[in-house]
Structure 1
Amino acid sequence: MSETSKPGNFITQIIDKDNEAGKNGGKVLTRFPPEPNGYLHIGHAKSICLNFGLAQRYNGQCNLRFDDTNPEKESVEYIESIKRDVEWLGFEWKEEAKFASDYFDRLFDFAKQLIQLGKAYVCELNAEQMREYRGTLKEPGKNSPYRDRSAEENMALFNDMANGKYKDGEVVLRAKIDMASPNINMRDPIIYRVRRVHHHQTGDKWCIYPMYDFTHCLSDAIEGITHSVCTLEFQDHRPLYDWVLDTLKTAHPQQIEFARLNLNYTVTSKRKLKLLVDEKHVHGWDDPRMPTISGLRRRGYTAKSIRNFCDRIGVTKSDSVVDVGMLEHAIREDLDATANRAMVVLNPIKVTLTNYPKDKEEIFTVNNHPKNEDAGAREVPFSKHLFVDAADFAEEPPKKWKRMTIDGAVRLRGGYVITCDEVIKNEAGEVVELLCRYDENTLGVNPEGYKPKGVIHWVSAKHAVDARVNLYDRLFVNEAPDANYEDKNFLDFINSESLATITAAKAEPSLLKSNKGQGFQFEREGYFCRDLKEDGMVFNRTVTLRDSWAKIEAKGK
């Protein structure tokens, strides 16, 4: 489905009305403005798809702009990861990536204009005094004793700030708005502060840095953004956005807020995600258990599945929590249609075909995909000794058992029907080998009299490839790990079983030709992908086969 043919939402309705009225000359210019203080997560994916999608829908443009006003927490590593994630999702920016720091000289001049207009002043209150003077949601704030300085005095002090005459935190530049405003964001907010920090783009040129609310609206205006789309938490900041632009009489983009993506069993605060990394609860930002785009990519999620998920949840004005099952359904849906099949035995148990010739080997041709002929076929070797999964055998099977048992017939996927005659156990009483016989007349057919109870996957022992398989589960056991609890925090809900590693899995040899990042459906086990970073046969479970959300969706229809 093309961007123009997708159903609209309240934002497209706003843009349609703007275009009908001739506003902005019919131009649509959006931006995606991440802070380079961490890796992007699934919530950012929604914003990326929305902002770049709007530009595509209206044949416009979307800028990638880094809001790099806090160099203490920013790095080039984060910048490069963000570029990589946006491109991987399938979007591109027409010009070079932009930085708020590109505009630091102009922002400095804008701040001076506010001072000249009597709309900004240098304040010497410390942080504790600032909080005291700010007031509360129920009580108005108090004017700073430094609020009524002359424009000339404020200009001199601001230049002193820029020239390094003050220590970090000693003074700030504040907008002069209304300390009695019911909106706390309008109570003379700070627009510049002193920070002696090396900046990854501007080096040591500046020892003062503008605040986000001052920078963002003016960066939008400088770039000629028409529709500044952001999440709902910025709704209360919109009056400040408008005040800065109106006071300075600049171009005035329209800020539009939408509901951010909230997933259950998930934390998306970058501060908390960084804590998970720093305290080594996970193995880096791209750990497949992380909700980061790089983590999802390494786990085996496809860009298409994430775009489809973002389309499916839609764009609304009301905050809500989305079931993570919808995200899992999106990747199952994509991989079910596109992923080649393969046979991998996770918990191998040996099978010996007692009536199969010792030196005989066969090659079976098996379709790579049951529904897609274009996917082609692969060759799977067969021999006297096989591996099957221990979970596929039961000496005392429960009711409706459809796998291996003594005297029971099962079909090997793409191969013969076999029957188990004898079980060999070790001294601990554990099953270590199954002695079975095969029927050479059952290859691809089901002769009369045979009623195999099921079909199981297998691997030829002689040709098996050793593989390491990471079984990933949800990182948190609590549906709302990020909620405010009296005696717990999100770290208390980490799932101790979120990663189980199988070191002795046996894979069919065709997987030796797989590429890093390539996804597969391991027959009867789930969807897996070859790890992007590790060498050798290392596979990560993307998602299990069971799809409860698909059943819910079908029932709803």
Structure 2
Amino acid sequence: MATLKHDSKCGGQNHDLKFNGVDFSSLFERDVHTSVFFSDGSILRCCNSKELLEKHLSVTGGRVLTRFPPEPNGYLHIGHAKAMFIDFGLAKERGGGCYLRFDDTNPEAEKKEYIDHIQEIVNWMGWEPYKITYTSDYFQDLYELAVELIRRGHAYVDHQTGDEIKEYREKKMNSPWRDRPIKESLKLFEDMRRGLIEEGKATLRMKQDMQSDNFNMYDLIAYRIKFTPHPHAGDSWCIYPSYDYAHCIVDSLENITHSLCTLEFETRRASYYWLLHSLGLYQPHVWEYSRLNVSNTVMSKRKLNRLVTENWVDGWDDPRLMTLAGLRRRGVTSSAINTFVRGIGITRSDCSMIHLSRLEYHIREELNKTAPRTMVVLDPVKVVITNWKDDLIKDCEARKWPDSEAESYKVPFSKVLYIERSDFRLKDSKDYFGLAPGKSALLRYACPIRCVDAKDVVLAEDNETVLEIRIEYDPEKKTKPKRVLHWVAEPSPGIDPLKVEVRLFDRLFNSENPAELDDWLSDLNGKSKVVIPNAFAVPPLEKGVGVGDKFQFERLGYFVVDKDSTPEKLVFNRTVTLRDSYKSGK
């Protein structure tokens, strides 16, 4: 075995590569830009002939080319954010390019909606594809190569049912049709292409190694019959290639230098190289990394699809899901997601569960710097200032940013205002610093207030529910209460404050790893979405506020304007609380 050296035009001056703290040198140890070993083809790993490698380099010029190949059968989730970060980021780091390739080989599950979504989300995440391609762009090439595979004795038409294939594979038994004549398989495969054979009555299988220790070498299916129009290719085909057949060939046809994927595909590496070797095609370098596992959620496409189609959630962009559309609707930024992915690193250890609080930390770090402050009361209780003139309206200066007096906004302060119900107690205690009979609190940006006596509290007929609190304010600000309260006042006498709808979102599942549960749907958190239809907000929120605008509701958390907002009423989604209050097992 020998090595082919690049000249200086291929950029072979630096063999070290660290990308965001991860050492990828092993991917490049054979050369700075591509896999350069060549051999006689007897070794089933990345071993290109000298001629294949020279042809590949003449096309790429020695540049790194990767690909991000999502299936358009659903919305992308946060695990895809990690894949994008690696696929696009590594290529960008090396001055190369990354294909956005739609792996559209199953027309029954694919929709144009998903294709459009994926393209939009890739752009939202900050990545620019080198080219946008579809596996279906190569259907003719893939078909012709399948014919060649049959001619070379490496594929055959099989008539076993799905259950029979499974049984024979489990017993390591050859199909009864495995050794049928090449000419016969060629004729039957042509009949499959022309639509002369019914669905389920024939498949094209690769003749691999039924005695291998690797289950993914047990004569994988290359083509199956589906009389289903294709969202991109139309009705031109009634046979469609499998992922195991198509993805490695298209990697080769697009001259991908590094085929990066998650560890569950590691056992398919042998099949990947077997097929390219059998067809005499250029072989990219394959490298696997650990997938992203986040607590209190599921990221299986099958499970996500079930949550959506069975209406357990409100669509693919439900803010409780870890889909990127759901996170965006919840108010999470792409930069916070990328910072989170960068922080967890890239390893080959596939046993770690990343706690959701780690993502929330990065969300808070960004929104703390970018989300202006405002005041909203979620569960309002009426407060009447007894020593305030009935018709007096005063403007208070409130700050948009805690460290800047320059940017402020005016909020009305009047005789009647509202505070959070949880900020008042009828019975005081030493560890409680909110408002209570005989106790004071400070109204943010305004003044101290005091509830003089229990007789100043108006209760409902149940003698427990507080309807109104009558207080006095301290105009001289002589008292120094420990607790600061946010509030919203009547903008004019007898007029309610601005009403907004607020949606409080929490973890979708109670368990940290619901995917491990047999009855995972029973683990859904019944309090994952709480809707408050009539919260009170300060008037400035009416002016110039649009969908996607983000705010910090003082003392409550970070919120974003939802797409369900109307000119009559704003709707806010809680992105994250101010602090992590989650306790494992609770």
Query: TM-score, normalised to structure 2's length?
Result: 0.87
| Most deviating of 417-426 and 491-500 | 417-426
Residue matched to 1:470? 503
Residue matched to 2:459? 425
Q: For residue 524 of structure 1, what is the amino acid of its counterpart?
A: R
Q: How many residues align?
A: 533
Matches within 5 A, 1:38-437: 38-95=74-131, 97-136=132-171, 141-319=172-350, 320-371=352-403, 376-421=407-452, 422-429=456-463, 430-437=465-472
Aligned match of 2:489 in 460, 466, 469? 460
CA–CA separation in structure 2 for the residues paired with 1:548 and 1:361: 38
Residue matched to 2:47? none
CA–CA separation in structure 2 for the residues paired with 1:484 and 1:434: 49
Secondary structure of the structure 1 residue equivalent to 2:32: helix
Secondary structure of the structure 2 residue equivalent to 1:368: strand
Secondary structure of the structure 2 residue equivalent to 1:409: strand
Quote the offset at 1:484 in angstroms: 4.5
Q: For residue 87 of structure 1, what is the amino acid of its counterpart?
A: N
Relative distance call for 1:284 and 1:70 in structure 2 (3 A) is same
Secondary structure of the structure 1 residue equivalent to 2:515: coil
Quote the offset at 1:17 in angstroms: 5.9
Q: Is the 8 A contact 1:18 1:26 kept in 2?
A: no
CA–CA separation in structure 1 for the residues paired with 2:264 and 2:404: 45
Q: CA RMSD in A?
A: 2.0
CA–CA separation in structure 2 for the residues paired with 1:150 and 1:5: 51
Q: For residue 419 of structure 1, what is the amino acid of its counterpart?
A: R
Residue matched to 2:64? 28
Residue matched to 1:511? 541
Q: For residue 156 of structure 2, what is the amino acid of its counterpart?
A: Y
Quote the offset at 1:476 in angstroms: 0.7
CA–CA separation in structure 2 for the residues paired with 1:401 and 1:305: 36
Q: Please give the per-residue CA displacement for 1:345-379, whole angstroms capped at 9, x wherever unaligned.
A: 001011111111222212222221113568x2222
Q: Please give the per-residue CA displacement for 1:136-161, whole angstroms capped at 9, x wherever unaligned.
A: 5xxxx122222222222211111111
Residue matched to 2:41? none
Identity across the alignment (%): 45
Structure 2 residue 515 is the aligned partner of structure 1 residue 482: yes
Matches within 5 A, 1:522-537: 522-535=553-566, 536-537=569-570
CA–CA separation in structure 2 for the residues paired with 1:112 and 1:504: 66
Q: Please give the per-residue CA displacement for 1:259-302, whole angstroms capped at 9, x wherever unaligned.
A: 00111211111111111111111111111111111111111111
Q: For residue 116 of structure 1, what is the amino acid of its counterpart?
A: R
Quote the offset at 1:516 in angstroms: 0.9
| Most deviating of 306-315 and 426-435 | 426-435
Quote the offset at 1:462 in angstroms: 2.8
Quote the offset at 1:80 in angstroms: 1.1
Q: Is the 8 A contact 2:150 2:185 kept in 1?
A: yes
CA–CA separation in structure 1 for the residues paired with 2:288 and 2:403: 43
Q: Is the 8 A contact 1:385 1:462 kept in 2?
A: no
Quote the offset at 1:453 in angstroms: 2.3
Quote the offset at 1:15 in angstroms: 3.6
Relative distance call for 1:396 and 1:548 in structure 2 (3 A) is closer
Secondary structure of the structure 2 residue equivalent to 1:394: coil
Secondary structure of the structure 2 residue equivalent to 1:19: coil
Residue matched to 1:555? none
Q: Is the 8 A contact 2:65 2:97 kept in 1?
A: yes
Relative distance call for 1:149 and 1:13 in structure 2 (3 A) is closer
Q: Is the 8 A contact 2:289 2:348 kept in 1?
A: yes
Q: Is the 8 A contact 2:428 2:437 kept in 1?
A: no
CA–CA separation in structure 1 for the residues paired with 2:399 and 2:371: 12
Structure 2 residue 24 is the aligned partner of structure 1 residue 11: yes
| Most deviating of 126-135 and 31-40 | 126-135
Residue matched to 2:51? none
Quote the offset at 1:427 in angstroms: 2.1
Relative distance call for 1:335 and 1:164 in structure 2 (3 A) is same
CA–CA separation in structure 2 for the residues paired with 1:198 and 1:365: 62
Q: For residue 302 of structure 2, what is the amino acid of its counterpart?
A: R
CA–CA separation in structure 2 for the residues paired with 1:207 and 1:518: 47
Quote the offset at 1:403 in angstroms: 1.4
Q: For residue 393 of structure 2, what is the amino acid of its counterpart?
A: E
Q: Is the 8 A contact 2:248 2:272 kept in 1?
A: yes
CA–CA separation in structure 1 for the residues paired with 2:427 and 2:286: 66
Secondary structure of the structure 2 residue equivalent to 1:482: helix
Structure 2 unaligned runs (5+)? 1-16, 37-56
Secondary structure of the structure 2 residue equivalent to 1:441: coil
CA–CA separation in structure 1 for the residues paired with 2:137 and 2:408: 54
Q: Is the 8 A contact 2:295 2:512 kept in 1?
A: yes
Q: Is the 8 A contact 1:362 1:383 kept in 2?
A: yes
Secondary structure of the structure 1 residue equivalent to 2:312: coil
Structure 1 unaligned runs (5+)? 553-557
Query: TM-score, normalised to structure 1's length?
Result: 0.92
Q: Is the 8 A contact 1:325 1:548 kept in 2?
A: no
Quote the offset at 1:133 in angstroms: 1.8
CA–CA separation in structure 1 for the residues paired with 2:34 and 2:88: 23
Aligned match of 2:529 in 492, 495, 499? 499
Secondary structure of the structure 1 residue equivalent to 2:88: helix
Q: Please give the per-residue CA displacement for 1:74-107, whole angstroms capped at 9, x wherever unaligned.
A: 1011111111211111112133x21100000000
Q: Is the 8 A contact 1:10 1:316 kept in 2?
A: no
Secondary structure of the structure 2 residue equivalent to 1:240: helix
Secondary structure of the structure 1 residue equivalent to 2:458: strand
Quote the offset at 1:26 in angstroms: 4.1
Relative distance call for 1:73 and 1:269 in structure 2 (3 A) is same
Q: Please give the per-residue CA displacement for 1:399-452, whole angstroms capped at 9, x wherever unaligned.
A: 22221112322111111111123212222222111111222233xxxx4xx221
Relative distance call for 1:49 and 1:274 in structure 2 (3 A) is same
CA–CA separation in structure 1 for the residues paired with 2:418 and 2:18: 50
